[in-house]
Copies of this chain bind each other. A is one copy, B any other.
C-alpha cells in the first residue's frame, strides 16, 4: 500500500512520461499546457487509493487513472470557454491564451486522448470500465448544463442544486473510485458501496469549495467572494435564499448587479445575510454529515480496516479535517 502522497508522486511521474504528437502544434500544445502543473490530481489519486484497498500492484490502474485525469482537464478546458474564464490555476486559461477555436478543438482531441489511455485497461475489465467511464463522462456534462441553466433560472431548489453537483462534481469522483476498485477485482457489493461513499465525498468536497469561496483564507492566495460578485447560485446562496426574509432575499438577488458600491461592500452585504441566517454553519454541518456518512460506508467494505487507513485520511484531508 502507498500513502496518498506516494500515490500522487507515482501518478505525476507516470504522467510526465506520456508522449503526445507534436503536430499539429496548435492542437497538442494546449493539451500539454493544461496537463502540466495540474492541481491536486484528486481523481487519479482516488482511483489509485481505491485500487490499493484491494490490491498492491498499483501500476495496473495507471492507464485508467490517466484517462480520468485527462478527461477532467478536458472538461475544465471547455468549461473555461463557456464561463468566459481567463484564469485557471493561476495561469492564463487555454481559452484566453489561444482563443476559443483552439480551445474547442484541443478539448475535443483531449477527450479522445482520455479514451486512448483507457485502451491500456486489461481486455477482461475493458467492457465494464468503458461503460462506467462513459456514464460518468455524460453525467459531468449534464451537471455542467444544469449549472448553466441555473444562471438564467430565477429559483433553484436545494434538491436541484444537490442533484447538479452530484452530476457535475461527485459523479467523476465516484467513477474514479469505482473504476479503481473494479480493476483491483472488488466485488459488486463493494463497488456499490464505494459508489455511494464517493458520491458523499464529492458532495462534501463541492460544498467545501463553495464555502471556501466566501469564507476561505485570503492568505492561501485565493480571492475571496468571487461567487458573490458573479451572483452565482452556490449552496450558501441557495440555502440563504430559502431561509431569508423577503427583504433579505432582495439583497441576495440584486447586490451583485449594483454599481453604486464597491466589490468589498457587495461581499460584506451578502455575507451579512449569510451570517444572519446561519448559512455557514448549515454548510459546515452538511459537509460534516456527508463525510461521516462516507466514512461509515467505508467501514462496511469486505476488507480489513488496515486497508482503509489511507483512503480515510485522504478524504478527511480533502475537507480540511486533517492537514
Q: Contact between A119 and B131 (Cβ–Cβ < 8 Å)?
A: yes
Tell me if A112 is interfacial: C-beta within 8 Å of chain B: yes
B-binding segment of A38-46, A58-66, A145-153: A145-153
- Interface residue stretch chosen among A122-130, A182-190, A214-222: A122-130
Enumerate chain B residues within 8 angstroms of A148, measured Cβ to Cβ. 26, 101, 105
B109 near A138 with CB under 8 A, answer yes
Least Cβ distance of A11 to chain B in Å?
22
**Which chain B residue lies CB-closest to A111?**
B111
Give how many copies assemble into the complex: 2
A144 at the interface (CB under 8 A from B): yes
Whether A104 and B82, one on each chain, are in contact in the complex, defined by CB atoms closer than 8 angstroms, is: yes
* Per-position 1/0 for A97-120, Cβ under 8 A of B: 000110011011101110110110
Partner of A104, one of B78, B119, B126: B78
The one of B21, B123, B134 in contact with A115, judged by C-beta atoms closer than 8 angstroms, is B134
* Chain A residues with a Cβ closer than 8 Å to the other chain, count: 37
Closest to A167 in B: B24
User: Does A296 sit within 8 A of B, measured CB to CB?
Assistant: no
Residues in B whose Cβ lies below 8 Å from that of A100:
100
Chain B residue at minimum C-beta to C-beta distance from A146: B24
Q: List 19 A-B contacts (CB under 8 A).
A: A21-B142, A24-B142, A24-B145, A26-B148, A27-B141, A78-B105, A78-B108, A82-B105, A101-B148, A104-B104, A105-B141, A107-B108, A108-B108, A111-B111, A111-B112, A115-B137, A116-B134, A119-B134, A123-B126
